[in-house]
Homo-oligomer: A and B are copies of this chain.
Amino acid sequence: MPKRHLTDPVDLLREHGMQVTVQRLAVLRAVSQRPHLTADDIEKMVRTEIGTVSRQAVYDTLAVLTANGLIRRIQPAHSPARFEDRVDDNHHHVVCRQCGRVADVDCAVGSAPCLEPAHRHGFVIDEAEVMYWGLCPDCQIAR
């Protein structure tokens, strides 16, 4: 019985009542290796790692991982959805208008800024998502 790290992906899946499959492990690895990848990027990474995978398996896995809170999905305008394993820390993102690059941005003020809208129109709000838009260092140079 080999000793496992606390956040061993195998245990992580089991703890959430999910079956352990090579596809799911590879998706999990891809997402944690490089944040903000698209489903397509992830599919490519998984395929190079385990040889073959169906697009549907990637999407299904991403969906179930998202539903169980193991990963997070962000969807900037003009971009396919992106995934990251940095969850439960309420961070935001800055997106380059030119090349689409995404970077993490910590909360601006206090622990939950922008979470208090002025008028909520009777909505019950459970999340405040902040997206910053601008130009990344590279695209500033390229004018």
Contacts and interface: CB of A to CB of B under 8 A. Distances in A.
B94 A120 contact: yes
Contacts of A114: 108, 113-114, 130
Interface residues of A, number: 42
A107 B114 CA distance: 9
Interface stretch (A8-16, A34-42, A46-54, A121-129): A121-129
Interface in A61-106: 73-75, 77-78, 81, 92, 94, 96, 103-106
How many identical subunits does the complex contain?
A: 2
A106 B119 contact: yes
Given A75-B78, A108-B118, A126-B134, 11 more contacts: A92-B117, A94-B120, A106-B118, A122-B140, A124-B135, A124-B140, A125-B134, A127-B134, A128-B130, A129-B130, A130-B131
Interface of A: 73-75, 77-78, 81, 92, 94, 96, 103-109, 113-137, 140
15 contacts: A75-B77, A94-B117, A94-B121, A103-B123, A106-B118, A108-B113, A108-B115, A108-B118, A113-B113, A114-B114, A124-B140, A125-B134, A128-B130, A129-B131, A129-B133
